């Protein structure tokens, strides 16, 4: 990946006495698809609005291409924003909507017409110039909002939950569309969502946020397979999160049973959190399991079956393409490399220690 394009330095934002962002540090590379992911109120939209110039931080700096733009108004920044509510002008045609920013910049009629054609082709809506926004579907309106943003040739496109109002099939189509646009245009995308699947599908880099802090930064694979704490593990996909005891390197005790793992350096007899993804649990013959249990529920999810297994007094959630009926006794087996060990936070606040990308 190329150089740092945006650098957020010690960004702090307080609303009504409540700290929404607490000394947040983050950099975004050129031509990167970076997603800010987290639950409502975690600070992701505030971060996006500070990058866009719609909010000023109480402390800290926004550096863009080496320049401090912390107090620069939005229209002077080399970026455009696409909001969840597409904010198209209902009294204007599609062409007039797309041309709006270019007219303000005083571009020639020929330049504007060429740009409208180019943008509509890019979002697969050629021939829509004279239509009214009210006659378009949600997905089409979304594409026009994106077309309006990209004709201004921003270096960065900010997208604030732009697919939130679309139905599932359309959302998935638009996800692939956005990946294609990003690759064709070669611009940086900064995307805000609370949808884990969306983040995993589209991003080069995911920034998981909670309570104004960055919990983890990494590729989709890193975030899913190597969560750094229980919050990330629980928020990204389904997980079994159990209290455990690290007996020694590569050996952890879970509910009285000893499981081999690959983690080292936690010390001896140390309390830890253990994360095991449902798809990483194998149901085997009772004698072949590390522990045994009984299937208590079974749901067909389309791609796989979801089963709950009561074992050693606790419920284990299992995803498998093989169905085991309710009531059957099974063994539970987990490969050592599929067990993730994490330090237990020493306090509530410690769960939200700001992590800087190394």
| Predicted confidence (pLDDT) per residue in 234-252, tens digit | 999 889 999 999 999 999 9
Average per-residue pLDDT for the chain:
92
| Mean pLDDT to the nearest integer, 265-278 | 96
Q: Is the pLDDT of residue 354 over 60?
A: no
Confidence class for position 171, pLDDT limits 50, 70, 90: confident
Pairing of strands 291-300, 329-334: antiparallel
Q: Is the pLDDT of residue 170 over 90?
A: no
Q: What is the pLDDT of residue 124?
A: 87
- Structure tokens belonging to residue 85: 């509510």
Confidence class for position 2, pLDDT limits 50, 70, 90: low
Q: Which of 253, 254, 218 is closest to 236 using CA atoms?
A: 218
CATH numbers and ranges of domains, the chain:
4-225 (3.40.50.300), 240-345 (2.40.50.140)
Q: Which of 101-105, 144-148, 272-276 has the highest mean pLDDT?
A: 272-276
Q: Is the pLDDT of residue 6 over 70?
A: yes
Q: What is the pLDDT of residue 95?
A: 96
Q: What is the pLDDT of residue 101?
A: 87
| Mean pLDDT to the nearest integer, 42-60 | 97
Q: Which of 138, 159, 142 is closest to 203 using CA atoms?
A: 159
Distance CA 329, CA 23 (A): 51
Using DSSP, state whether 285 is helix, strand or coil.
Answer: coil
Q: Which helix (H) or strand (E) holds 196?
A: helix 196-202
């Amino acid at each position: 990946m190329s150089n740092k394009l945006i650098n957020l330095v010690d960004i702090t934002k307080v609303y009504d006495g409540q700290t929404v962002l607490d000394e947040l540090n983050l950099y975004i590379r050129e031509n990167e698809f970076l997603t800010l992911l987290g639950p409502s109120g975690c600070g992701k939209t505030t971060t996006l609005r500070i990058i866009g110039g719609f909010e000023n931080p109480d402390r800290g700096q926004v550096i863009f291409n080496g320049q401090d733009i912390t107090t620069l108004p939005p229209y002077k920044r080399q970026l455009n924003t696409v909001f969840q509510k597409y904010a198209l002008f209902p009294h204007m045609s599609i062409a007039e909507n797309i041309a709006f920013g270019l007219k303000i910049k005083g571009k020639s009629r020929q330049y504007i017409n060429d740009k409208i054609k180019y943008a509509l082709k890019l979002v697969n809506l050629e021939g829509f110039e004279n239509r009214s926004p009210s006659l378009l579907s949600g997905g089409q309106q979304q594409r026009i909002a994106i077309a309006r943003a990209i004709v201004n040739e921003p270096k960065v496109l900010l997208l604030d939950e732009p697919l939130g109002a679309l139905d599932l099939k359309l959302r998935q189509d638009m996800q692939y569309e956005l990946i294609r646009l990003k690759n064709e245009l070669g611009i940086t995308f900064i995307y805000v969502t609370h949808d884990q699947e969306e983040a995993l599908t589209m991003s080069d880099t995911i920034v998981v946020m909670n309570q104004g802090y960055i919990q983890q930064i990494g590729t989709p694979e890193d975030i899913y397979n190597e969560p750094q704490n229980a919050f990330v593990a629980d928020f990204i996909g389904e997980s079994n999160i159990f209290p455990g005891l690290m007996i020694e390197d590569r050996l952890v005790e879970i509910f009285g049973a000893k499981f081999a793992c690959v983690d080292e350096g936690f010390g001896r007899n140390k309390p830890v959190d253990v994360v095991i993804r449902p798809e990483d649990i194998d149901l085997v013959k009772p004698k072949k399991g590390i522990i045994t249990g009984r299937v208590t529920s079974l749901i067909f999810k389309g791609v796989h079956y979801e089963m709950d297994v009561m074992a050693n007094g606790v419920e284990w959630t299992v995803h498998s393409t093989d169905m085991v009926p309710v009531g059957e006794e099974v063994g539970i087996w987990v490969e050592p490399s599929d067990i993730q060990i994490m330090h237990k936070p020493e306090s509530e606040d410690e769960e939200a220690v700001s992590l800087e990308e190394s």
